[in-house]
Amino acid sequence: MSGMSEHGKEPEHRLRRELPAEVPVTAPKDESAGEPKPESGLTGRQRLVQGLWPPRVSRAQLIVAVLLFGLGFGLAVQVASNSDSDSALRGARQEDLVRILDELDDRTQRLEDEKTGLEKQRQELQSSSDQAAEARKQTAEKERQLGILAGTVAAQGPGITMTVDDPKGTVQADMLLDAIQELRAAGAEAIQVNGVRVIAGTYLTDSGKSVSVDGNKITQPYVFRVIGKPQDLEPALNIPGGVVQTLEKEQATVTVERSTKIVVDALRPAKQPDYARSSSQ
């Protein structure tokens, strides 16, 4: 009995020895458990799109953009204007270009002369011991010059005398007006027709077979006394197709004489303006 019990326990002991050790059972590992999930479930591309649109523009950026737009628009307008001017000059005739250049040269010369005169006046004022007396002297000289132009002061100097004989009465007011305009363009500083002083507002009208100057009827022969540079005045009247030829076509006789002293003594009364006043008052 005792041997059997010992024999009977031996298989149980051997069975326990042959059984493997109990392996602990673990839950399957979640491979994505250690990775952080993106916020709100958005991908990187979606977050990039949200960052770029809609665009966020600051006030300073908006002001800079508006200024740049205005600058670009101004440059475009300037370039277009220059292109139009260049194209207009390219299409001009040679005679027109020569005339434009001559006018520019004349204007430049007049501006240079005016600049020289102003610089001379400034130097005289600076160098004069009595600047107040010099200023009064220049003011009086300026008043005299303006009086000559306004016809309120008599004048004398070199110039020409043009006499127009019109026995048939065919010379009209517009022909004499063309003569005055031609003389002014040639540099005439004072003009007198018969006994009437010519000023800036002078007008001529036909009056029967004669002409009226500012409402004053004058009869032929029409005598023009003109102060200016004779070397410029006479050629201006005798150019081909000019004043002299036009009057001669009307069977009038025209004579032009140069002189070192021409007196223009017909005066206009000084007119007080109704509304205009000096801005210095």
Q: Take residue 59 and report the two structure tokens written for it.
A: 């006030």
- Model confidence at 17: pLDDT above 60: no
Residue pair 179/271 in contact by the 8 Å Cβ criterion: no
Single pTM value for the model: 0.51
- Beta-carbon contacts of residue 260 (< 8 Å; ≥ 6 apart): 158
CB atoms within 10 A of CB 56: 8
C-alpha 263/C-alpha 28 separation (Å) is: 130
Residue 3 banded pLDDT, cuts 50, 70, 90: very low
Strands 253-264, 210-213: parallel, antiparallel or unpaired by DSSP? unpaired
Q: Which of these, 254, 269, 264, lies nearest to 192 by C-alpha position?
A: 264
pLDDT tens by residue, 72-117: 887 777 766 665 555 556 666 777 777 778 878 888 888 888 888 8
Full set of structural domains in the chain with CATH: 154-264 (3.30.70.1880)
pLDDT tens by residue, 145-156: 888 888 889 999
